[in-house]
A and B are shown apart, each in its own frame.
Chain A
Amino acid sequence: MPTTRRQFIKQSVGAVTASMLIPKFGFTQANGQSIDPAANLAHKLVVIQFSGGNDGLSNIIPYSDSRYYQLRPDISLQPSELKDDTGATTMINNDLALHPRLKEIKQLYDAGKVALIVGVDESDKQSLSHFEGTTNLAAGGLSGTIPNGGWLGRYASQAFAGQPGFYAAGIGSLPQMFYTPDTSYVIPSISSFAQYTFQTDARNTRDRNNQITAFTAGNSRSFDSGAFIDTVARAGAKGFTDSITIQTETAKYAPQGYPNTGLANLLKMVAQLIVTIPTSALFHVSIGGFDFHQNLVANVNGQVNKLVNGQAGLLMQFSQAVKAFYDDLDAHGFSQNTLIMTYSEFGRRPQQNGTMGCDHGRASAWYVIGGSVKGGVYGQQPSLSSLDRNGNLVGNVDLRSIYATVLDKWLNHDSRSVLGASFDNVGFLN
């Protein structure tokens, strides 16, 4: 049964009451059931968005299928090219291989830490719009709007509302997935620790406390729930409160050994928060640029180069950043209780277009990575022979079943209270 807004508000009040009784980590689930807070908080989730429509066929390559080479004469990878820069093969079985630039992901896969989910699809009715697709995925439904927030915003509201402390953050931006169903719980967004602070007149520092007193009075007033003024006041008050924690705690650990890329810098911030703030539980980061209508495979000085820029460049950035992050967590004892999952709003058309790229399509590939993952391939590789009427892949894994698996099996949270219905367990977690 979907959680209605009215029910939710009632339940939040209940959660506040519970928090008064159990001062530190305990809390009550939205439906009043008590859940094991240690199990919940111990399990951390880091979500990586591949923005722009990630071409599944460039991630997990069906090298045994002759149709793949027919549809993509210029941008496919030959079996001889399916090896990393050390010469190690990136094939994972007799039919599928990882992209040669996913070297570190392949190493984690071989160690049993990676679930590759192929054929992840939304619906045959989807418009293949970036914007509608992103919203639908965020909502965790097919409505095209998110009146009740994003699926992780709903989860976080149910799990954390009324609890003082720092649990979740969008790092770099606040994704729609983290939109909360009402303003009673705000998920922070952090782009820079240095700037996550409230500044006052540097020439009049002894006035700082007076300014903070007046600032707090102005931003702690009650406004109509859901009104814009309520949204800004609550975000401002939450930002100010967390800024003190963030400034104090993140100064205690500076991660090393990450590549200097956009995604690695974001994951480095996540690691810094996980290591220094024990309540840290839920994060989202984003890597963009997957909308390769052209140059999915790069042209370098007039030569096709399948290993630089384009899809290869982004996958290499992903692979290296995740490896650095995983190793950092592992060194601090967090690799077993941190789950990384990726998503993208849709896939791309199997037939290449005229500009060394692919237009919007369906059925992408998602990754779930972590020390507790049951490694392997999940879902069926979509057929390249029976495409839909627009020439797109037809998937077989409902993306909501991945959400449900993460909620039920990792976050120990009844997925029905977040998704409004039951979905199959994909099986990548014990």
Chain B
Amino acid sequence: MASISFDDAAHLLRRMGFGGSPDELDQLAAFGSREAAVDHLLNYDRIDDSALDNLTAQKFQINDPPLDNTKFNPQELRRLWFTRMILTKRQFQEKITLFWHNHFATAISKVNQEVLMQVQNNTLRANALARFDDLLLKVAQDPAMLIWLDTLQNVRGNTNENWARELQELFTMGIKDVVTGETNYSQTDITEIARAFTGWNFTRPPASDPFNYTFRFNTNSHDNGLKTIYSGTASAVTSNLDGKDVIPIICNRPATARFLVKKFFDFFVYPLDFTTKQDRNTADALAAVYLSHDHSIKEFARAIFTSDEFWSDRARYALIKTPPEFVVGPIRMFGATYNPGGPTAQRDNSIFQRSALLGMDCYDPPDVSGWDLNSAWVNTASMLDRYNVANTLATTRTQNPTTQQGAFITIDQLRKYTKASTKKTVKGFISVLNVSTDKPTINSLRQYLDADTPFDPSTDTVIDQKVRGLVHLIMCLPEFQLS
């Protein structure tokens, strides 16, 4: 068992969640070992989240039938999810749901029904750590996905290849094996698998039970003929396959296991470089965990978060923050003072809008490949947007955060970490915001506090002006863009 420091806890919670306050990090470090801390975050169903459930029940009306667009709409869909991200005690649950949303990227711009997007989000959350086969089958039968990739139009004699193609290219294997470079499937496999998924459909629920969609198999539009897939490989099959038969075949291919390692590493650890033997070995070792643990995502995730790779120096600050991490992270690091507003008035839409501005409008990915990660978040416009979002968070004041909707850094929170000296003040805030930087940068921040008049934090006026400026500047540092 490896011991866990405060900085280790911060690293772990930035990756398995969105980040935490110094108190939360102390509590996580108090588990005593990295394995125990990972186990705690992984078994999130044992963590009491009733405070969040009670709050969302008060602040949202999505469950009130009959469906009413004033009660539930695309804005409310997003307000609900970001409220969860900011306030949940089950941080990994929301983080991995975000991961799966990016993996099985489905856009409301085509699905066009917020209820179906919520149904899919619930499905991803409920099955996030299940066997991959089970999650994939739920996704394949999910109404939003059936619409998004045209499966509803995929019928006997008139196939539509959209789902069959992306199932293989984006959701499971990739065109080529990420490690060996071998081609994973052919155009024939796409055509044959499209035939296997013909006749997949869904039944709409009654208005009294608006989220309870059920899968429906239309025998009449299913192509029950023989299909041959993966001819010439170890997975070759000829049979009158249905989609349900295809999924376990794909999930059991080593190429799928290696593809999942790549996807998890890009999002949670560091980008792998498959031209190096070291990273090929990493992929093979973790792919073996997936294959030997019955495709359990939970055990796969446990192996990743307890791996030497995850805790290595190479992994520290090795990812560029996603927009939700950039937007939600600092709120949580200051102790999550957040009032989502609602249910009917004064709804806070600012948080999801900030994430959208920075390039990740949840529920509306640019295309089925989801959002590209890391350096793809970075361009001159998105960097200016990050600085301005940081400025908004740092400088939006409130007299009463319990009654006013929105996210704030309160004067009490600022006072808590402000010390008499500029050095201790700067070090305090860079620690709260999980930044590690060099001495010249610390000095330039100290000079900022001392500019014009020597720093005297004995009055709230100085704290309100200069320390808010300091928080903004720390969030503008290159180091803060990294997780």
Residue of A nearest to B367 (CB): A130
Size bin of chain B's contact surface: 35 or more
Inter-chain contact A353/B158, CB cutoff 8 Å:
yes
User: Can you list, as one digit per residue, whether each of B352-365 has a CB less than 8 Å from chain A (1) or not (0)?
Assistant: 00000100000000
With A190-B381, A211-B472 as given contacts, are A198 and B451 in contact (CB-CB < 8 Å)? Answer: no
With A217-B441, A218-B444, A354-B153 as given contacts, are A232 and B320 in contact (CB-CB < 8 Å)? Answer: yes
Partner of B473, one of A127, A129, A203, A211: A211
Inter-chain contact A199/B388, CB cutoff 8 Å:
yes
Inter-chain contact A201/B395, CB cutoff 8 Å:
yes
Residues from 110 to 152 in A contacting B, C-beta threshold 8 Å: 127-132
Residues from 185 to 241 in A contacting B, C-beta threshold 8 Å: 186, 188-192, 195-204, 206-207, 210-211, 213-215, 217-219, 221, 223, 228-233, 235-236, 238-240
With A235-B378, A294-B150 as given contacts, are A195 and B385 in contact (CB-CB < 8 Å)? Answer: yes
Chain A residues contacting B466 (CB-CB under 8 Å) are 207
Residue of B nearest to A228 (CB): B320
With A207-B469, A218-B478 as given contacts, are A354 and B155 in contact (CB-CB < 8 Å)? Answer: yes
Does B477 lie at the interface of the complex (its beta carbon under 8 Å from any beta carbon of A)? yes
Majority-rule SS of B interface residues: helix
Distance in Å: Cβ of B162 to nearest Cβ of chain A: 5
User: Can you list, as one digit per residue, whether each of B381-421 has a CB less than 8 Å from chain A (1) or not (0)?
Assistant: 11111011001101101000000000000000000000000
Inter-chain contact B381/A188, CB cutoff 8 Å:
yes
Inter-chain contact B384/A197, CB cutoff 8 Å:
yes
Chain B residues contacting A353 (CB-CB under 8 Å) are 158-160
Chain A residues contacting B477 (CB-CB under 8 Å) are 218-219
Residue of A nearest to B377 (CB): A232
A173 to B478, CA, bound (A): 21
With A217-B441, A354-B160 as given contacts, are A231 and B469 in contact (CB-CB < 8 Å)? Answer: no
Inter-chain contact B150/A219, CB cutoff 8 Å:
no
Partner of B383, one of A218, A235, A390: A235
Chain A residues contacting B468 (CB-CB under 8 Å) are 201, 204
A228 to B397, CA, bound (A): 33
Chain A residues contacting B384 (CB-CB under 8 Å) are 195-198, 236, 239-240, 243
Chain B residues contacting A240 (CB-CB under 8 Å) are 384
Pick the most buried of A199, A230, A233: most chain B CB atoms within 10 A of its CB: A199
Does A371 lie at the interface of the complex (its beta carbon under 8 Å from any beta carbon of B)? no
Does A242 lie at the interface of the complex (its beta carbon under 8 Å from any beta carbon of B)? yes
Does A56 lie at the interface of the complex (its beta carbon under 8 Å from any beta carbon of B)? no
Question: How many residue pairs, one in A and one in B, have C-beta atoms under 8 Å apart?
Answer: 179
Does B63 lie at the interface of the complex (its beta carbon under 8 Å from any beta carbon of A)? no
Does B465 lie at the interface of the complex (its beta carbon under 8 Å from any beta carbon of A)? yes
Residue of B nearest to A127 (CB): B175
Residue of A nearest to B465 (CB): A204
Inter-chain contact B158/A355, CB cutoff 8 Å:
yes
Residues from 307 to 365 in B contacting A, C-beta threshold 8 Å: 317-320, 357
Inter-chain contact A210/B448, CB cutoff 8 Å:
yes
Instruction: Tally A residues with Cβ within 8 Å of B.
Output: 60
A288 to B204, CA, bound (A): 31
A196 to B388, CA, bound (A): 10
Does B479 lie at the interface of the complex (its beta carbon under 8 Å from any beta carbon of A)? yes
Partner of A232, one of B170, B383, B438, B472: B383
Inter-chain contact B378/A231, CB cutoff 8 Å:
yes
Distance in Å: Cβ of A310 to nearest Cβ of chain B: 14
Inter-chain contact A214/B445, CB cutoff 8 Å:
yes
Partner of A355, one of B160, B383, B447: B160
Does A293 lie at the interface of the complex (its beta carbon under 8 Å from any beta carbon of B)? yes
Inter-chain contact B478/A223, CB cutoff 8 Å:
yes
Chain B residues contacting A221 (CB-CB under 8 Å) are 438, 440-441, 478
Inter-chain contact B160/A201, CB cutoff 8 Å:
no
Does A375 lie at the interface of the complex (its beta carbon under 8 Å from any beta carbon of B)? no
Chain B residues contacting A188 (CB-CB under 8 Å) are 379-381
Distance in Å: Cβ of B280 to nearest Cβ of chain A: 16
Inter-chain contact A294/B472, CB cutoff 8 Å:
no
User: Can you list, as one digit per residue, whether each of B441-477 has a CB less than 8 Å from chain A (1) or not (0)?
Assistant: 1001101100110000000000001101100110011
Distance in Å: Cβ of B105 to nearest Cβ of chain A: 12
Does A328 lie at the interface of the complex (its beta carbon under 8 Å from any beta carbon of B)? no
A129 to B383, CA, bound (A): 30
Inter-chain contact B452/A228, CB cutoff 8 Å:
no
Residue of B nearest to A178 (CB): B379
Inter-chain contact B153/A201, CB cutoff 8 Å:
no
Chain B residues contacting A201 (CB-CB under 8 Å) are 391, 394-395, 465, 468-469, 472
Residues from 366 to 381 in B contacting A, C-beta threshold 8 Å: 367, 369, 374-375, 378-381
Task: Using A199-B387, A239-B384 as known contacts, list a sample of 6 further A-B pairs with CB atoms less than 8 Å apart, ordered by residue number in A.
Answer: A170-B379, A188-B379, A190-B381, A201-B391, A211-B448, A221-B478
Q: What 8 pairs between A and B have smallest CB-CB spacing? A: A354-B158, A239-B380, A189-B379, A217-B444, A188-B380, A214-B448, A210-B451, A233-B478
